[in-house]
Amino acid sequence: MSSDTTPRPHQPSTVQRERIAYRRKRAIRSTLLAALSTAVVGLLLYLGVTGSPGWERVKASFFDWDIAVKALTGRDNYPSILSGLWLNIRLMVICTACALALGLLIAILRTLRGPVTFPVRALATTYTYSFRGLPLIIVIYLFAFGIPGLRLQGTPSVTVLGAAAIVVTYGAYLAEVFRAGIESVHPSQVAAARSLGLSYRRTMRHVVLPQAIRRVTPPLLNDTVALQKDVGLISLAGPIDAIRAAQINQAGTANFTPYVVAGVLFVLLALPLIGVTDWVTLRAARRQNAGN
């Protein structure tokens, strides 16, 4: 019905060629300017820091190469930051998955209508309200030290309890992100799905959630990056993760380099996800601009 016009070979006119040349020249100039200003700022920062009166002492207690290597590999009977990091990585993966699942579940519960589901809805709302306000450190203390204090049979280890604290806290944030996504889907989409005979559940599953999740993927990933970093707070509960290992090293050597090592490792771990977040955000923005 609609016939596409076949593209003919096209010679750009003189005006267009001139425009292209001008744009290219302008692009080169701004790239050079950017490189130059970056170099100047970098140099000034370097001179400012290394030229400061206390630099030698800071360098010795924060950037000692030997201590870094020792802390990393765990020589001289100190716990190794690297093996502590393995615990962090496992916790990151598990906590992220559980927090996303919990957040989605809570968000769906909060969208339910009708008097029968009122208690569930009220519970879900209370949960998101209280756990978004509660500092994570306090939740970790409550979980890791409070729950074992009950002396119940089969109380899990502090590591599991600390992880649960992280999941519960981040679940509350993620639930609100998911809910914002669900509410951003226009009611006419639900009407269209219901008019086709889809049940409420199928409408959620096939029409509302796919659109909602796509829309909130950038903020979801952003919160996931924050979660990854906050997994380090589990060291407060006692298990020897990268940060706890760094702390033990620091206590033994009276040198802060192990913390710097752990910090660098955390940044490296977060980089891939940050990259993915940027890419997804960019793609979402592009798609929005491409649509009418």
Partner 1 sequence: MLLSCTDVRKTFGPNVVLDNLSLDVDEHEVVALIGASGSGKSTLLRCVNLLTEIDDGVVRLDGEDITDPRVDADLVRQKIGLVFQSYNLFPHMTVLDNITLAPVRVHKRPVPEARSQAMEWLDRVGLADKSGSYPDRLSGGQQQRVAIVRALVNSPRLLLLDEVTSALDPELVGEVLTMIRELKGEGMTMVLATHEMGFARQVADRVAFLDSGRVLEQGPPEQVLGEPVEARTRQFLARIIEAGRL
Residues of the shown chain interacting with partner 1 in the complex, contacts defined by CB under 8 A = 1-2, 188-189, 191-199, 202, 206-207, 210-211, 214, 291-292
Residue closer to partner 1, measured from CB, 14 or 292: 292
Residue 9 backbone zone (phi > 0: left; psi -120 to 50: alpha; other: beta): beta
What secondary structure, in 3-state letters, does 28-71 show?
HHHHHHHHHHHHHHHHHHHHHHHCCCCHHHHHHHHCCHHHHHHH
Sign of CA pseudo-dihedral 32, 34, 38, 40: positive
Compute the least distance from the CB of residue 187 to partner 1, in Å. Answer: 10
* Residue 86, both tokens: 């393995």
Q: How far is the CB of 7 from partner 1 (least distance, A)?
A: 18
CB neighbours of residue 59 within 10 Å? 12
**Least separation in angstroms between CB 4 and partner 1:** 9
Closest CA to 233 of 223, 246, 243: 243
Distance CA 194, CA 117 (A): 20
3 state DSSP class of 254? coil
Structure tokens at 172: 């509350």
Tell me the closest approach of the beta carbon of residue 184 to partner 1, in angstroms: 12
Nearer CB in complex with partner 1: 207/243: 207
Q: How far is CA 56 from the centre of its chain?
A: 35
- What is the smallest separation between the CB atom of 104 and partner 1, expressed in angstroms? 17
Q: Which is nearer to partner 1, 45 or 192 (CB)?
A: 192
Rounded to a whole number of angstroms, the minimum distance from the CB of residue 20 to partner 1 is 29
- Alpha carbon dihedral 278, 282, 287, 289, in 10-degree steps, equals 150
For partner 1, give the closer residue by CB, 16 or 189.
Answer: 189
132/286 with CB nearer partner 1 = 286
CB of 206 vs partner 1, minimal distance in Å: 6
Closer to partner 1 by Cβ: residue 180 or 198: 198
Give the Cα separation of 139 and 143 in Å (integer).
6
Largest CA distance in the chain: 85
CB of residue 119 vs partner 1: minimum separation in angstroms? 23
Question: d(Cα 36, Cα 46) in Å, to the nearest integer?
Answer: 15
Closer to partner 1 by CB, 75 or 287: give it.
287
Which C-beta is closer to partner 1: that of 134 or that of 185?
Answer: 185
Q: Reduced to 3 DSSP states, what percent helix, strand and coil does the chain have, rounded to the nearest 5?
A: 80, 0, 20
